[in-house]
Amino acid sequence: MAKKKGGMSAGSLLGGILVVLTAMVLIVNLGLWTPMSKIFGLPEINSLSQLMPGEDSKVKPDVKLGLKEPSLKSSGSNSQTNTPEATETPSETTQTQNGDNSSSQTQKTATSVPEGALSPITTKQALDKLADIETATPHTKGYNRKTDFGTWQNSNQLCGYGTTRDYILKRDMTDVTMDKNCKVLTGTLQDPYTGKTIKFQRDTYETVNGKQKKTGGDSMSVQIDHVVAVNDAWASGLWKDSRKGDRITYANDPEVLVASEGEANNIKQQGVNLVKDEALNGSSTKWKDATPSIWLPSNKTYQCSYMAKRVYIKDKYKLSMSSWEKAETKSFLMQCVADGN
CA distances from 59 to 39, 158, 209, 251 (A): 23, 11, 35, 15
pLDDT of residue 55: 31
How is the chain split into domains, by residue range?
Answer: 21-52, 101-338
Nearest to 80 by CA among 187, 188, 201: 201
68: β partners: none
At 292 the pLDDT is: 76
Contact yes or no for 306/227 (Cβ under 8 A): yes
Q: What is the pLDDT of residue 31?
A: 56
| Alpha-carbon distances, residue 319 vs 48, 84, 94, 235, 292 (angstroms) | 37, 33, 24, 9, 20
Q: So what's the pLDDT on residue 288? A: 62
Give DSSP secondary structure letters for 294-323.
Answer: B---S-GGGHHHHHHHHHHHHHHTT--B-H
- Looking at the DSSP bridge assignments, the partners of residue 206 are 213
**253 Cα distance to chain centroid:** 5
Q: Please report the beta strands in 209-274, taking only residues with DSSP state E, as ranges in sequence order.
A: 211-216, 222-226, 257-261
Question: Running DSSP on this structure, what letter comes out for residue 40?
Answer: H
- CA distances in angstroms from 252 to 13, 158, 188, 248, listed in the order given: 40, 14, 22, 6
Cα-based torsion angle of the residue sequence 240, 243, 244, 248 in order, rounded to the nearest 10 degrees? -130
User: Does the pTM exceed 0.75?
Assistant: no
Residues 6+ apart with CB under 8 A from 133: 311, 314, 315, 319, 320, 321, 326
Chain center to CA of 186: 17
CB 229 within 8 A of CB 222: no
- Residues 6 or more apart whose CB falls under 8 angstroms from that of 150 comprise 89, 247, 248, 251
Cβ atoms of 55 and 49 within 8 Å: the answer is yes
Mean pLDDT by 10 residues, the chain (341 residues): 52 64 61 55 48 35 32 36 41 36 35 91 97 95 92 89 95 96 96 96 88 88 97 96 96 98 93 76 58 90 97 98 95 96 89
DSSP state of 117: G
The residues pairing with 222 across neighbouring beta strands, listed in sequence order, are 261
- Residue 137 · residue 43 · CB < 8 Å: no
pLDDT value of position 191: 97
